[in-house]
Chain A
């Protein structure tokens, strides 16, 4: 299959249903060959955006551009986008080969051309031997791969994926995630994926766009979003986080000190970030795995004393809930091999983290 990705741009995309705004002024660029994931909870507008890109939903305002060309008024069949639907939407009255041949047949390709392309597409998803089966005779994972082959067989401009893995069990999902990623690398096309599964988004995407209540909250590489979330919502939705609130003291270009009750928390800012105003209220996001358990005499940029409220064993590590007198409850995840203690409820512990572990976020919590 020839590899030529196309670039997509959304400009001020808005969709209203009566008084309800499903998508609110979303602008987003998807580069050629990029794997973009629209991530958000249900009702965040991610599926509406995908349906607008596919042409099934007419936007109330804004435009959709493919390689700079306006495609907003085009009906879905004129956009030449491949789509994998939730639940796959394979035609039950057609065999696997007929399903994959469908987009070629409606484009009027000759039988010989169809056969060659169908075989290539089925080989691409390793289903060459299942051509004559009916969809209901396949497992969920195989159906998903047929849907992928059907969506890729006609050299689409874009591949749109609507929660492609949500119907599969956890183990199969992980397997197909890797396959999907490898497939993306192989065909070199632009993929747009919609999911509410943050792990799937982190592992698959080149870039993630996080949505909530129809608004684009933040977009960026998975690592950027995870390490430097812009808002409380992003930090909370992508992974877990502790939130510490306080007043800014002694701010300079390197960082600042956050006064939270009697505690003074030192925060180092990444180079080039805006210095918060002295005396303003700020919220910090602190990832549980960036907290360590300090042994006696061990030092850290920030330390806080507390008592273990509850703990659970995760195999690879321990998850602790620690009650602290001034910062409230703090969640920490420790690698099991590093844990110097056997956790027990009520055990006094000292937590520590470095000055660049916590990042300031905007408080957009309702």
Chain B
């Protein structure tokens, strides 16, 4: 009863459980979030109007975008350096480097955030060392502000920047680099004209990954921001859990989802996302 090449009803039955699971536990709640954002406290687009009228909403959005951009840039720069070093390292050193990149990933984000607090607080290791060395007289405000958030987020994001870039650098044929030098290019020219352009897919993949990840960051900004610098995720939790303003919270959650989709759409115009994330042919 199936036409040639068209999947039959049996095929649909096979993926039905997965489809139902997605529908009930994933798409359903998201639609509900969308629905709440246009019905609470009263039906209409009142919550979305706040984006244009409320200064505090605008501040949260701008702070989030600023922190995410700075985090992405720093994580990409650091990550590129690390990935480049790993690519050029001897096979033995490579293993240790990759381990050093992966170990932070296996440590709880909570532990890492508190570790940064201990290092950066007023009587923390960094301030104490600088004061004892006579560099400063007053402790520097290193935590419970944007600086602290960025330090913690960059630290968390660097492995996510390294891994896609490392994968794309691995695909670069080392003979191309030798060929470029043989043709008269200096080390700098080889890097700028051959290595950098060939590692571009990895940079873009890392960029998408780190930026989208940063947008919804919760624990690190909550702990290292000390409640003074609010990012979107913490703001949403504050609206819903503390102020019981479901409408505003869900509006921001919807905006977050749209921001992520928009980022993916923009990048998919520039590059083949399926290729850089390693699926498809």
B185-A77 in contact (CB<8A): yes
A54-B175 in contact (CB<8A): no
Of A85, A102, A106, which contacts B178 at CB under 8 A? A85
| Interface check A141, CB cutoff 8 A | no
Q: How large is the interface on A (under 10, 10 to 19, 20 to 34, 35 or more residues)?
A: 20 to 34
Contacts of A105 in B (CB 8 A): 193
A106-B189 in contact (CB<8A): yes
A75-B183 in contact (CB<8A): no
| Interface check B228, CB cutoff 8 A | no
Contacts of B179 in A (CB 8 A): 83, 85, 89, 91
B175-A106 in contact (CB<8A): no
| Interface check A246, CB cutoff 8 A | no
| Interface check A103, CB cutoff 8 A | yes
Which A-chain residue is minimally distant from B189 (CB atoms)? A106
Contacts of B181 in A (CB 8 A): 56, 75-77
B178 CB to closest chain A CB (Å) equals 6
A93-B182 in contact (CB<8A): no
A150 touching B183 in the complex, CB below 8 Å, given contacts A87-B175, A106-B193: yes
Q: Give Cα distance in the complex from A82 to B175, angstroms.
A: 14
A80-B194 in contact (CB<8A): no
| Interface check B186, CB cutoff 8 A | yes
Most buried by A among B184, B186, B193: B184
Of B176, B182, B186, B189, which contacts A91 at CB under 8 A? B176
A54-B183 in contact (CB<8A): no
Contacts of A56 in B (CB 8 A): 178, 181-182
| Interface check A130, CB cutoff 8 A | no
The digit string for B173-202, where 1 denotes a CB below 8 A from any CB of A, is: 101101111111110010001100110000
Q: Give Cα distance in the complex from A105 to B180, angstroms.
A: 11
Which A-chain residue is minimally distant from B192 (CB atoms)? A106
Q: Give Cα distance in the complex from A364 to B189, angstroms.
A: 48
| Interface check A69, CB cutoff 8 A | no
Which B-chain residue is minimally distant from A150 (CB atoms)? B183
Contacts of A54 in B (CB 8 A): 182
B184-A80 in contact (CB<8A): yes
The digit string for B156-188, where 1 denotes a CB below 8 A from any CB of A, is: 000000000000000001011011111111100
A102 touching B193 in the complex, CB below 8 Å, given contacts A77-B184, A107-B184: yes
Q: Give Cα distance in the complex from A77 to B182, angstroms.
A: 5
Which A-chain residue is minimally distant from B174 (CB atoms)? A89
Contacts of B173 in A (CB 8 A): 87, 89
Of A83, A93, A106, which contacts B186 at CB under 8 A? A106
Total number of residue pairs linking A and B with CB closer than 8 Å:
64
Contacts of A86 in B (CB 8 A): 175
Contacts of A91 in B (CB 8 A): 176, 179-180, 194, 198
A151 CB to closest chain B CB (Å) equals 7
B178-A89 in contact (CB<8A): yes
Contacts of B185 in A (CB 8 A): 77, 102-103, 106
Contacts of A87 in B (CB 8 A): 173, 175
Contacts of A150 in B (CB 8 A): 183
A-B contact pairs, 18 of them (CB 8 A): A56-B182, A75-B181, A76-B181, A77-B182, A77-B184, A83-B179, A83-B182, A85-B182, A87-B175, A89-B173, A89-B175, A93-B197, A102-B185, A103-B184, A103-B185, A106-B186, A107-B184, A154-B183
B157 CB to closest chain A CB (Å) equals 27
| Interface check A81, CB cutoff 8 A | yes
| Interface check A92, CB cutoff 8 A | yes
Q: Give Cα distance in the complex from A87 to B175, angstroms.
A: 9
Q: Give Cα distance in the complex from A102 to B180, angstroms.
A: 8
Most buried by B among A86, A91, A151: A91
Report A79-133 residues with CB < 8 Å from chain B CB: 80-83, 85-87, 89, 91-93, 102-103, 105-107
Contacts of A93 in B (CB 8 A): 197-198
Which A-chain residue is minimally distant from B182 (CB atoms)? A83
Most buried by A among B179, B181, B182, B193: B182
Q: Give Cα distance in the complex from A150 to B185, angstroms.
A: 13
B276 CB to closest chain A CB (Å) equals 15
Contacts of B193 in A (CB 8 A): 102, 105-106
Most buried by A among B180, B183, B184: B183
Contacts of A81 in B (CB 8 A): 182
Contacts of A55 in B (CB 8 A): 182
Contacts of A106 in B (CB 8 A): 180, 183-186, 189, 193
A77 touching B178 in the complex, CB below 8 Å, given contacts A91-B194, A93-B198, A106-B193: no
Report A123-169 residues with CB < 8 Å from chain B CB: 150-151, 154, 160
Contacts of B180 in A (CB 8 A): 91, 102, 106
